[in-house]
Structure 1
């Protein structure tokens, strides 16, 4: 049975590590491992250290046998480490100090639970795969000038759907002239969330009005896909 996380304000968190990753550093999850016997500790440490990649890593600051003591908590505090306890528990004073220092203690009785949790934490630090998904294309067939609002692209949706607040490109002769976001979408006088192929609509683009009749507005979305460790 896994424990709840111990402690209040944390010395280290996944959010901290994610910020380091965005800044270009390779984040390391610092761990302090205590186990009931040396064999189980060595097996768990070996499994965890194998997860290190060129993008994320495990740094085992200490590995020992026996209950989680005050000295373990203090070392974890200065090392910004999470304590992993396998078939062991913290003594009362260690638990109090962990709460005061904001040190996380995770307790496990099943080795695969510990491995799965650490793997999930590291996967959360991997940069997601970014891909673009084209939603649809519309051809501008009329330029509509609206007082105070500027130009609206009277368009016919050729394929897919055009969706309000989607990303958008203006394409002329196969060349992308502008890339931004779709500000507003209308069907006649009514606002619309999306317009499907075969229908006319009015499209407003964010901070761009240099479109002409015949231009193609391509609506798309950016999708982030979570990556997994092999």
Structure 2
């Protein structure tokens, strides 16, 4: 498995109105690597993975951005409504497909 592309910790949580509904947003600081909106993400609390999927939005200040680098702060929302807590970890990773190999001859 590839190492994570980036990790961020949740510093604060808030709700943003989008249309007629309120969407939970996590205010994060990138600890290492970078967060790229095209990649996959997971939300980790303690030792438990609470969610895996894609980001709905990634913003730096008020601007929608594609990537956020180490040391920068950002706001992000998930494709599922989950309540964030300060201290949660957001991990950004890339999925790759790898051909299966076997160590024996199947005979055909």
Please tell me whether the aligned partners of residues 139 and 216 of structure 1 are also in contact (alpha carbons under 8 angstroms): yes
Please tell me whether the aligned partners of residues 165 and 183 of structure 1 are also in contact (alpha carbons under 8 angstroms): no
Which structure 2 segments of 5+ residues have no match? 102-108
Aligned: 1:152 with 2:45: no
Aligned: 1:183 with 2:56: yes
**Which of the pair is proportionally richer in strand?**
2
User: Structure 1 runs of 4+ off > 4 angstroms?
Assistant: none
Aligned: 1:142 with 2:15: no
Please tell me whether the aligned partners of residues 165 and 184 of structure 1 are also in contact (alpha carbons under 8 angstroms): no
> Take 2:3 and 2:78, find their aligned partners in 1: how far apart are those partners?
19
What's the C-alpha RMSD, in Å, of the aligned pairs?
2.1
- Higher relative contact order, structure no. (Cα contacts within 8 Å, ≥ 6 residues apart): 2
Please tell me whether the aligned partners of residues 137 and 160 of structure 1 are also in contact (alpha carbons under 8 angstroms): yes
Q: Which has the larger radius of gyration?
A: 1
Match of 2:83 in 1: 210
**Which of the pair is proportionally richer in helix?**
1
Match of 1:35 in 2: none
> Take 1:224 and 1:216, find their aligned partners in 2: how far apart are those partners?
25
Instruction: Tell me by how many angstroms 1:220 deviates.
Output: 0.9
Q: Compute the TM-score of the two structures, normalised by the length of structure 1.
A: 0.40
Q: Compute the TM-score of the two structures, normalised by the length of structure 2.
A: 0.80
Instruction: Tell me by how many angstroms 1:226 deviates.
Output: 4.7
Aligned length: 100
> Take 2:2 and 2:84, find their aligned partners in 1: how far apart are those partners?
23
> Take 1:208 and 1:176, find their aligned partners in 2: how far apart are those partners?
15
Which structure 1 segments of 5+ residues have no match? 1-130
